[in-house]
Amino acid sequence: MYAVIATGGKQYRVSEGDVIRVEKLGVEKGEKVTFDNVLAIGGDAFKAGEDVKDATVEADVISNGRTRKVIVYKYKAKTGYHKKNGHRQHYTAVKITKINA
């Protein structure tokens, strides 16, 4: 059985036991989090829309962290303009424990 959830402006296809990195949720390591925005559930029969309005996905928070640095370099030819910037995105790693359909 799998579910499609939406969080942080992105959609994830998850099954029980999966570990995924989502946008920072603001919860501490070891806490539980529930995803209410379930878009679809698949497995024996596919359900979406009104069939999954009460479905939830439960997960445990494994860690909070930051991804690898991405270098952003802006340059315009013949004007002497260049700008170097770095960015590290925050994330929360969660382990899917239960899909309530």
Question: CA 16: distance to chain centroid?
Answer: 15
Q: What is the distance between the alpha carbons of residues 46 and 2, in angstroms, rounded to a whole number?
A: 10
| CA dist 61 → 17, 39, 57, 86, 97 (Å) | 12, 21, 13, 27, 10
What one-letter code names the amino acid at 89? Q
| Non-local CB neighbours of 30 within 8 Å, separated by 6+ positions | 60, 61
3-state secondary structure (DSSP) of residue 57? strand
**Which pLDDT band holds residue 101 (cuts at 50, 70, 90)?**
confident
3-state secondary structure (DSSP) of residue 6? strand
Least confident piece of the model among 40-49, 64-73, 75-84: 40-49
pTM of full prediction above 0.75: yes
pLDDT, tens only, 11-66: 999 999 999 999 999 999 999 999 999 999 998 899 999 999 999 999 999 999 99
